[in-house]
Amino acid sequence: MFELHEQLKEDTVTVGQFKLCLVLLHKDANYPWVILVPKRSKMREIHHLAQEDQLQLIRESSHLSEVMTSIFTPTTMNIAALGNVVSQLHVHHVARFSDDPAWPGAIWGAKPAKAYDKEVLEERLNRLHGSLVGEGFEAHCGVDDIMGSSESFTP
Amino acid sequence: MFELHEQLKEDTVTVGQFKLCLVLLHKDANYPWVILVPKRSKMREIHHLAQEDQLQLIRESSHLSEVMTSIFTPTTMNIAALGNVVSQLHVHHVARFSDDPAWPGAIWGAKPAKAYDKEVLEERLNRLHGSLVGEGFEAHCGVDDIMGSSESFTP
């Protein structure tokens, strides 16, 4: 059975889910940073997914990148599956700007996380909810969850 | 017309090509580090590729990850499309080990590059050539290129 890793619960708020992946917004306000987690148990690497899931992952990833590009108009998108610290397969989607705190370096470990203002976070979640149509997207609109963890979400 | 970015030529040696992507080995000997570059002109983001190319990219990426896992038996694979410094779309595939110089951090900008011994590089290229069968892989076996740049390779 799929269960979200405790660290990912801790670090993110839930935006919703696609057919394959949970869609999580990282609580670090330094960057628009969304994480996809395939809802498959004990999965560590992209190449361990069934081939059909791999194809669905890139569809959902590209759809998310398009939406983030249209909402945030970044300089570029950073897409990465690392898994050195949290072994559960998860794919980072970070909208990068030439004036963001870590540019042009990678974001991981670069700067201390910055907390969101509640209004900014709500507005960001609302924009994602309004644009992530397709690939079976279902929004998760639990208001209680917005400033807390995403523990209450059981996909 | 597709042309490989000068910085990627400078930093890598050519292993060969899949149907969609050039396969390049990074000259930094700190990590087994292979880069896929889709042979499509003026491409910056994965989501800009035609859908069929996106699906082929994940097939080639996963095949490469499987082969690197079987050759190098890493702790995990890091897969990333960043593009903050070199804007041409390229996807990093890095075999990571819990005792490598940057662990558990990301490798980009973490440590100065380390040069390969010629024998180690040749052995690594030979192992990749011997294992990267599938997805239309063709090896590039130009010996002159092994310690130099990959400029002579015109796919």
B141 band by pLDDT with thresholds 50, 70 and 90? low
B144 assigned to some structural domain? no
Is the pLDDT at B92 greater than 90, yes or no?
Answer: yes
Find, in chain A, the residue whose alpha carbon is nearest to that of B64: A47
Give, to the nearest 10 degrees, the angle between helix A51-72 and helix A118-131: 120
* Cross-chain Cβ contact B104/A87 below 8 Å: no
A65 assigned to some structural domain? yes
B147 assigned to some structural domain? no
Q: Does any CB of chain A come closer than 8 Å to the CB of residue B108?
A: yes
Is the pLDDT at A155 greater than 80, yes or no?
Answer: no
B73 assigned to some structural domain? yes
Percent of residues, chain A, with pLDDT higher than 90: 86
Please name the residue ranges forming H helices in B12-136: 51-72, 118-131
- Domain with A132, as residue range(s), is 6-139
B88 assigned to some structural domain? yes
Collect all residues with Cβ–Cβ distance below 8 Å to A100 and sequence separation of at least 6: A30, A31
Structure tokens belonging to residue B18: 């899949």
A141 band by pLDDT with thresholds 50, 70 and 90? low
Q: Does any CB of chain B come closer than 8 Å to the CB of residue A44?
A: yes
B151 assigned to some structural domain? no
CATH for B110 = 3.30.428.10
| N-to-C CA span, chain B | 11
Q: Which of B75, B65, B124, B113 is nearest to B96 (CA)?
A: B75
User: In this predicted structure, what is the pLDDT of residue B19?
Assistant: 96
- Cβ(A128)–Cβ(A28) under 8 Å? no
Is the pLDDT at B120 greater than 90, yes or no?
Answer: yes
- Each residue's pLDDT tens digit, A62-98: 999 999 999 999 999 999 999 999 999 999 999 999 9
* Cross-chain Cβ contact A80/B78 below 8 Å: yes
Q: Which residues of A touch B44 (CB under 8 A)?
A: 76
Chain A closest CA to B5's CA: distance in Å? 17
The whole-model pTM stands at 0.92
DSSP three-state, residue B43: coil
- Each residue's pLDDT tens digit, B11-63: 999 999 999 999 999 999 999 999 999 999 999 999 999 999 999 999 999 99
Is the pLDDT at B155 greater than 70, yes or no?
Answer: no
- Each residue's pLDDT tens digit, A98-140: 999 999 999 999 999 999 999 999 999 999 999 998 888 999 8
| B146: Cα separation from own chain's centroid | 14
* Cross-chain Cβ contact B58/A57 below 8 Å: yes
A151 assigned to some structural domain? no
B151 band by pLDDT with thresholds 50, 70 and 90? very low
Is the pLDDT at B119 greater than 60, yes or no?
Answer: yes
Chain B closest CA to A80's CA: distance in Å? 4
Pick A76's closest partner by Cβ from B45, B78, B108: B45
Residue B17 host element (H or E):
strand B12-17
Is the pLDDT at B149 greater than 60, yes or no?
Answer: no
Q: Does any CB of chain B come closer than 8 Å to the CB of residue A140?
A: no
Q: Which residue has the higher pLDDT, B16 or A155?
A: B16
User: ipTM of the predicted structure?
Assistant: 0.91
User: In this predicted structure, what is the pLDDT of residue B137?
Assistant: 93
Percent of residues, chain B, with pLDDT higher than 70: 90
Count of structural domains within chain A: 1
Find, in chain B, the residue whose alpha carbon is nearest to that of A62: B47
* Cross-chain Cβ contact A83/B62 below 8 Å: no
- Cβ(B119)–Cβ(A139) under 8 Å? no
A38 assigned to some structural domain? yes
Structure tokens belonging to residue B114: 């380390």
> What are phi and psi for residue A78, nearest 5 degrees?
-105, 125
